[in-house]
Amino acid sequence: MLPDLKPPSECSTRQDIRTSIDLIDEELLRLFVVRQGYIRRMAELKTHPDQAFDAERIETMVHRLTVRAEELGLEGEQVDKVWRTLIDWNVAYEERTIAARLEANQKNASGNEATKSD
């Protein structure tokens, strides 16, 4: 995982703990960047903004992650809230991206039609 990370039991000062949390946060950000690459690609593959929201997929995913979190000793409610926030943002991103692409395609098509009639 993170080679410079001290186990919590070896942290003897608040600064030790803060340093470890900062290392973890940096790694989380890197993982979110990777995850966002997949969200961007998903938005490219979808053809309509309505496809961004898939309630069944969301509920299945959040349930699976909540159960896994509890197995690992984390509060399921925390994971539920974090992932739903992340998913809400991803859905909104996909909707905006797909809608903007469709609008640009429509403008290009309209421009091409006007050029043909000239």
pLDDT for 15-29, tens place per residue? Answer: 999 999 999 999 999
Percent of the chain's residues with pLDDT above 90: 87
- Reported confidence tier of residue 2, pLDDT bands at 50, 70, 90: confident
Q: Give me the pLDDT at residue 117, please.
A: 59
Q: How many CB atoms lie within 10 A of CB 43?
A: 20
Helices (H), the chain: 14-45, 55-71, 76-117
Q: Give me the pLDDT at residue 59, please.
A: 98
pLDDT for 56-93, tens place per residue? Answer: 999 999 999 999 999 999 999 999 999 999 999 999 99
* pTM attached to this predicted model: 0.82
Q: Where are the domains of the chain?
A: 1-45, 48-118
Q: Give me the pLDDT at residue 112, please.
A: 75
Per the prediction, the chain carries an average pLDDT of 94
Residue 40 and residue 50: Cα distance in Å, rounded? 16
What phi and psi values does residue 48 have, to the nearest 5 degrees? -150, 145
Query: What are the residues whose beta carbons fall under 8 Å from the beta carbon of 94, sequence distance 6 or more?
Result: 39, 42, 43, 46, 49, 51, 52
